Amino acid sequence: MNAATAPATPILQVDGLVVEYAVPAGVFRAVDGVGFAVERGATLAIVGESGCGKSTIARSLVRLITPTRGSILLDGHDIARMPERRLRPLRPRIQMVFQDPYGSLDPHLSAAEIVAEPLRQRGVRSKAERATEAAGLIDRVGLPAGALDRRPPEFSGGQRQRIGIARALASRPDVLVLDEATSALDVSVQAQVLALLREIQRESGLTYLFISHNLGVVREISDDVLVMNRGRIVERGPTARVLAAPEHPYTRALRAAALDPSAIEGRKPRAVLAAALAPTTEGAAP
Amino acid sequence: MTATATGAPGPGDGFPAEVPLLRVSDLQVELITEAGVVRAVDGVSFEIRAGETVTIIGESGSGKSTTAMGLLRLLPDDLAVLSGHALVQGRDTVADPRAAAEVRGRAVSLIPQDPMTALSPVHTIGRQLLETVRLRRGDLDRSAARDRAVSLLTQVRIADPEQQLRRYPHQLSGGMLQRVLIAMALACEPALLIADEPTSALDVTVQAGILDLLLELQEQTGAGILMITHDLGVARLVSDRIHVMRGGRFVESGEAEQIVGDPAEEYTRALLRSVPALGPWDGAGTAAATAPEGDR
Ligand SMILES: Nc1ncnc2c1ncn2[C@@H]1O[C@H](COP(=O)(O)OP(=O)(O)OP(=O)(O)O)[C@@H](O)[C@H]1O
Ligand SMILES: Nc1ncnc2c1ncn2[C@@H]1O[C@H](COP(=O)(O)OP(=O)(O)OP(=O)(O)O)[C@@H](O)[C@H]1O
Ligand SMILES: [Mg+2]
Ligand SMILES: [Mg+2]
């Protein structure tokens, strides 16, 4: 965003990223030579078909997995294959909100404890201070005060997702990777969370990598967008441009099939849906 | 109201078409927690007939999943206290836990919001899907069941289905897992399908394919669908009726067209207002702009 004030070196620079998984049939290459850079304080979105490798990139960036090849420069440090001992102090600087709100929170801790934990790692010594800040974050993601003492199994899907967001924000990272972080949220809570993310970005210059399949959300939150297909980037550019005039057939299909509630009239016969499905449709919806 | 429902063949077992597949009346679900009793579902009533799709929309935490899990009695007994009635093909699951156990996976199947409530992390997708297929189709031998499993995965647009059968759940992406759950639910060939956010992890192209598949199933078998979604586009596309839920109650109910096109409640209007606009595009002006928001 703030091109004028942004420092010249990107906070995150990824080059030639390749990630392979061992599978029964041998090796599966989920990410196949991906490169991009994000300026400090900017938001880069990644969109692409289910299974194209988005979460794999996310997990590599926060080093839950070690990429097969390539470099990941976080503020100049290549963390792609950095040994854990050196990586440890850098970990708080790049955090992630996980796609699965069910498996990613410790079911034995209360929401307040989950959000307070990164504060301890950040060196906030006083327990009272941690509790106050955790409560503040839980409030800012739109959860009621009664949520503090409850444990993850006692929350709905969208509520858990917001606990994950509060926890990630508690680390005060430089880069926050959000993997489908608002996909379980209804539109009004989603709008509230997006507004919060923007506000924090304005306040602190936080950088977002925003993975989403929701083009409306992508348009609202991101400066630039990458479109992926089968482990590769097939299109990139300023979000407004890519969504208004997509070039790659996959991006065009995405755009054509987007269900805009105000543009839909009545329950659709299957034929109309089928039209929305055809790749590179022209004239999908009536 | 029952609009296009008629004409569809009745769902299995010669069940009389005039009785709703599902009739829920004054369902309450109270959750017993350390902090006290929470009434997560506070007296909801609705019904679904063969061939109909009824959708529940509403904000996060409003009680949608608890409604679905409650009427199928999938909430632990020491957590949830149910009252009211939920008649599945005429049998009351609230009054009779055995009825609930008998309809689950046969007359009714659930696509749960949390994939891991339906999948085991220690078994392959293939093993779990085959088990479900054979539960319904005891007559199929191993290889025929396998063929059926592959065809189900193909129908939900999973690439390389044979490969995926050999994988464990954690080796699939979020959207792939969601589609495996849909395949498992379809394997049951249910008369009533309850789908809790079934396409929330899917991009629009895949989502359209899945919705098409569900509607096709409905056309062919006359299945009823209870859809839970926060996506108003999806709701408008597939629903005959929509119930808008808030704080455990339905605050507005009506035909899909009316709820999305002309909502009476401020709460519903607020839900609609917050849909992020897609903005202009050059694609033959089709999905073109909703009112430009000028927010950014
Ligand atoms: N095991 C539990 N113990 C205590 N409270 C619970 C439990 N499960 C759910 N709740 C509460 O009950 C309410 C309804 O939850 P439910 O999961 O039905 O919401 P939902 O409408 O499905 O939301 P979402 O769209 O976020 O999935 C929420 O306020 C939630 O916090
Ligand atoms: N641990 C693993 N072992 C083997 N294969 C894996 C593993 N994790 C992911 N994959 C495969 O890698 C590919 C990319 O998965 P990934 O989770 O990155 O996709 P995604 O773009 O995030 O999809 P979605 O939108 O559905 O979440 C998929 O084909 C998936 O099956
Ligand atoms: Mg993913
Ligand atoms: Mg839910």
Least confident of A56-60, B167-171, B184-188, B229-233: B229-233
Sign of CA dihedral A24, A27, A32, A34: positive
- DSSP sequence for B112-167: -SSGGGT--TTS-HHHHHHHHHHHH-TT--HHHHHHHHHHHHHHTT-SSHHHHHTS
Length of chain B: 296
- B41 and B71 in a single domain? The answer is yes
- B196 and B102 in a single domain? The answer is yes
Identify the three-state secondary structure at position A229: strand
- Starting at the edge strand that comes first in sequence, how are the strands of the sheet with A232-238 ordered? A94-97, A175-179, A207-211, A43-48, A224-229, A232-238
Q: Inter-chain contact B174–A99, Cβ cutoff 8 Å?
A: yes
Question: Which pLDDT score is estimated for B292?
Answer: 34
What confidence tens digit (pLDDT) does each residue in A142-191 have?
Answer: 998 889 999 999 999 999 999 999 999 999 999 999 999 988 888 888 88
Q: For residue B168, what are the domain limits?
A: 119-187
Q: How far is CA A74 from CA A39, A139, A210, in A?
A: 11, 30, 17
Question: Which pLDDT score is estimated for B158?
Answer: 93
Residue B6 — pLDDT band, cuts 50, 70, 90?
A: very low
Question: Which pLDDT score is estimated for B12?
Answer: 46
Contact (CB, 8 A) for B157 and B210: yes
- B91 and B215 in a single domain? The answer is yes
* Residues 6 or more apart whose Cβ sits within 8 Å of residue A144: none
Q: Which two tokens stand for residue A138?
A: 């839980």
Contact (CB, 8 A) for B247 and B63: yes
B201 lines ligand 2 (CB under 6 A): yes
Question: Which pLDDT score is estimated for B166?
Answer: 94
- B133 and B234 in a single domain? The answer is no
Tell me the average pLDDT of chain A: 87
Whether residue B262 has pLDDT greater than 50:
yes
Residue A260 — pLDDT band, cuts 50, 70, 90?
A: low
Residue B255 — pLDDT band, cuts 50, 70, 90?
A: very high
C-alpha to C-alpha distance for B182 and B213, rounded to whole angstroms: 10
DSSP A268: P
A212 has a chain B CB within 8 A of its CB? no
Least confident of A22-26, A112-116, B154-158: A22-26
Dist. CA A238 → ligand 4 center (Å): 34
Beta strands A207-211 and A43-48 are: parallel
C-alpha to C-alpha distance for A121 and A134, rounded to whole angstroms: 13
Question: Which pLDDT score is estimated for B10?
Answer: 42
Contact (CB, 8 A) for B119 and B110: no
- B147 and B200 in a single domain? The answer is no
Best residue for ligand 1 mutational test, from A159, A165, A190 (most atoms within 8 Å of Cβ): A159
C-alpha to C-alpha distance for B55 and B48, rounded to whole angstroms: 10
CATH 3.40.50.300 range(s) for chain A read 12-245
Q: What percent of chain A has pLDDT over 90?
A: 69
Dist. CA A157 → ligand 4 center (Å): 5
Count of domains for chain B: 2
C-alpha to C-alpha distance for B249 and B84, rounded to whole angstroms: 14
C-alpha to C-alpha distance for B259 and A241, rounded to whole angstroms: 33
- B71 and B1 in a single domain? The answer is yes
Range A1-23 average pLDDT: 81
Q: Which two tokens stand for residue A244?
A: 């208004």
- B93 and B198 in a single domain? The answer is yes
Question: Which pLDDT score is estimated for B231?
Answer: 81
- B218 and B261 in a single domain? The answer is yes
Q: Inter-chain contact B197–A184, Cβ cutoff 8 Å?
A: yes
Which of B113, B34, B128 shows the shortest CA–CA distance to A110?
Answer: B34
- B196 and B55 in a single domain? The answer is yes
The domain that contains B224 carries what CATH number? 3.40.50.300
Task: State ipTM.
Answer: 0.83
C-alpha to C-alpha distance for B116 and A207, rounded to whole angstroms: 32
Which of A254, A251, A255, A257 shows the shortest CA–CA distance to A276?
Answer: A257
What confidence tens digit (pLDDT) does each residue in A64-110 have?
Answer: 999 999 999 999 999 999 999 999 999 999 999 998 878 889 999 99
B66 in a domain, yes or no?
yes
Angle B125-136/B142-155 helices, nearest 10 degrees? 110
End-to-end CA distance of chain B: 41
B123 in a domain, yes or no?
yes
Where b means 16+ CB within 10 Å and e means fewer, A213-247 reads bbbbbbbbbbbbbbbbbbbebbbbbebbebbbebe
Ligand nearest to the CA of B111: 4
Within 8 A of B235 by CB-CB distance, chain A residues are 261
Whether residue A285 has pLDDT greater than 60:
no
DSSP A195: H
- B211 and B99 in a single domain? The answer is yes
Whether residue B139 has pLDDT greater than 70:
yes
Within 8 A of A188 by CB-CB distance, chain B residues are 59, 270-271, 274
The CATH number given to A12-245 is: 3.40.50.300
- B256 and B227 in a single domain? The answer is yes
Whether residue B9 has pLDDT greater than 90:
no
- B45 and B182 in a single domain? The answer is no
**B244 forms bridges with which residues in the sheet?**
B57, B252
Question: Which pLDDT score is estimated for B7?
Answer: 39
Question: Which pLDDT score is estimated for A8?
Answer: 65
Range B88-100 average pLDDT: 94
Contact (CB, 8 A) for B210 and B156: yes
Identify the three-state secondary structure at position B207: helix
